[in-house]
Amino acid sequence: MDILVQKFGGTSVATKDLRERVAQKVIETKACGKFPVVVVSAIGRNGDPYATDTLLKLSKSIYPELTSRELDLLMSCGEIISAVLMTNTIKSKGYDAVALTGFQAGIITDSNFGEAQVISVNPTRIINYLKDDKIVVITGFQGATKDGDITTLGRGGSDTSAAILGEALNAEVVEIYTDVDGVMTADPRLVSEANVIQSLCYNEVYQMAKCGAKVIHPKAVEIAERANLTLKVKNTFNDTDGTIINNKRPFSVIKTNESYSKKLVTAVAHMNDIVQVIINISSEDEKNDSLLMELTDKRISIDMINFFDDRKIFTIAEKDLQTIRKILDSYNLEYKITENCSKVTIIGYKMHGVPGVMARLARALSRENIKILQSSDSNTTISCLINSKDLINAVRILHQEFEL
């Protein structure tokens, strides 16, 4: 059975006309002899009637506190509405279709509401519907515990749903549909010259996703790599080829208007709303271990970590600022907080072992008087922390510097 999983995000199914377009893509897949399994996100974005954030605001306007269980139940509603509307749109075209929740599709998770981990997937019900010649439309972002409590998989969970179903169904490909032509060399909203990347390996796109590129969620990439599953990122609104993600190429290929070119650096990614924390605390101080344990207990994720004998430097998300201030004050520690920071990252599979890349990056930013507050690197990335006011210029400059 030649199964193709197609995931459509909220902007792709936000209006009647858009759902008609999605239905046509699904029907074309069916007409090619494949068996489409469609995964959908909630309709629209914040402010739209059935978007997840809109549902949260509605609930909080009545009573500000929900249990995590009730919160997941509420947040699952947007995808359910989307799946039913998408199913009926396909039926209106003369094709049989059926809507399933994540639980009905066989996705079983743990009980970590809001960030549930998938334990198992039983695809039997999906396969039986496909054998009955039905197009199956499944709610993204959700599953359920063994006891039947609805759970959600965290932000980007519809990508995770598509990948986990692709693995369970032994799908040929998982297509992730969005509102851009594929994975880009930079955010096209910041860099008008950004190009589509024709081909990426898992590690590159995983690093891009972790460093702020919002085209696909890193969890989905992890699953795809584990299952050796090919991903394609495509545009809902046209028929461009998009970006292929697998391990068949040891380097990325960037598609420009004129040709294909191999590059040392593949892309520039960025993240906003970051805070730098510098703490004066020695590695031998007894407060050190307990402080780090408390950050873990409070679920504060730290990044860009530089630990020295006399101080600890790292970054956190802005949303955790008040919490970390309280923690540091409770330990009576001397510290410095720098707000309004952003992280800009260059990513490239071929950078590893090549000298001079960091120097080139630093010179490019220095020419524009952009101060580097902190840096970190891995085999495929170099990240710099900068002031948020410099972010747009920094992304554009690096995109030019590395000829993307």
Domains with residue ranges and CATH for the chain: 3-262 (3.40.1160.10), 267-401 (3.30.2130.10)
Helix (H, G, I), strand (E, B), or coil: what is residue 87? helix
Q: pLDDT tens, 213-261?
A: 888 899 999 999 999 999 999 999 998 999 999 986 544 555 554 444 4
79 is in an annotated binding site: yes
To the question of whether residue 89 is assigned a binding role by annotation, the answer is no
How far is 345 from 347, CA to CA, in rounded Å? 6
Please give the Cα distance from 151 to 70 (Å, whole number): 9
Instruction: Give me the amino acid identity at 165.
Output: L
* Separation CA 108–CA 120 (nearest Å): 5
Taking only the tens of pLDDT, the chain with its 404 residues reads: 899 999 999 889 989 999 999 999 999 999 999 999 999 999 866 667 777 778 778 777 776 777 889 889 988 998 999 999 999 999 999 999 999 999 999 999 999 999 999 999 999 999 999 999 999 999 999 999 999 999 999 878 999 999 999 999 999 899 999 988 999 999 999 999 999 999 998 999 999 999 998 888 999 999 999 999 999 999 999 989 999 999 865 445 555 544 444 578 999 999 999 999 999 987 667 677 788 889 988 889 999 999 888 889 999 999 999 999 999 999 888 999 999 999 999 998 888 778 899 999 999 999 999 999 999 998 889 999 999 999 999 999 999 999 98
Q: CB–CB of 110/145 below 8 Å?
A: yes
Please tell me whether 20 is known to bind a ligand: no
Is 52 annotated in a binding site? The answer is yes
155 assigned binding-site residue: no
Residue 113 marked ligand-binding: no
What number of CA atoms fall less than 13 Å from residue 217's CA on the CB side?
19
pTM of the model: 0.86
Q: Is 8 annotated as a binding residue?
A: yes
Q: Which two tokens stand for residue 367?
A: 């020419």
